[in-house]
Copies of this chain bind each other. A is one copy, B any other.
Amino acid sequence: MANDKYEEPTVRTEPIFQGKVISLQVDTVRLPNGETATREVVKHPGAVGVLAIRDDRMIVVEQYRKALGRSQVEIPAGKLEPGEDTAEAAKRELEEETGYRCEGVKLVCSFYTSPGFADEILHLYVAEGLTEGSANPDEDEFLDCEAITLETAKRYIAEGRIRDAKTIAAVYAWQLFRLTGSYAP
């Protein structure tokens, strides 16, 4: 396949919104057939998620997600700070949300969460050398931490309590590691 042969050059950008987490713009683009179309584009600073396994249990947090109107069980995760190294962000979010510290993290994979309308990229890390400590979440962040077996993770998926891309990817990675010794997709 030829890369970018269907590129859509921007004719005009209309800024719509600049928030704390995201911004939104509407781009008018030139299509390969010469017509124009609009593309709604959400800009996001990017995020990290951490697969942290201790004693064959995955460390997860339960928190309320306003966008969903319900609580979800997810791996520890968070937005990148401006200019922050992604591996450092992974270690920071793990410790802030769960209290666990780790000796190091290794990248499993990175993925765009919603390429149809957003530039958010999620870097999924696996933590190595975990030690317990005290959580220290952000001031507007309320969550509970739990360490669950693979069996419980599968039950949470069946019940819809685990239902987000990064945690589903982490559970796949965990299973693949148990079968093959590799977390990579």
Contact = CB atoms under 8 A, between A and B. Distances in A.
Interface of A: 1-8, 16-17, 19-22, 24, 26-27, 29, 31-33, 35, 37-42, 44, 47, 62-74, 79, 109-122, 140, 142-144, 146, 154, 157, 161, 163-169, 171-173, 175-176, 179-180, 184-185
Number of copies: 2
30 contacts: A1-B71, A1-B146, A3-B70, A3-B161, A6-B64, A6-B142, A7-B71, A16-B17, A19-B26, A19-B38, A21-B116, A29-B66, A31-B140, A32-B142, A39-B66, A42-B117, A44-B117, A67-B118, A68-B115, A68-B119, A109-B168, A111-B164, A114-B120, A118-B118, A121-B163, A122-B165, A154-B184, A154-B185, A172-B176, A179-B180
A16 to B, nearest CB: 5
Contacts of A119: 67-69
A68 B19 contact: no
A40 B19 contact: yes
A26 to B, nearest CB: 7
A7 B146 CA distance: 19
B172 A165 contact: no
Contacts of A143: 6
Contacts of A67: 39, 41-42, 112, 114-119
Contacts of A17: 16-17, 24
A116 B157 contact: no
Contact of A117 (B21, B70, B168, B185): B21
Nearest to A1: B62
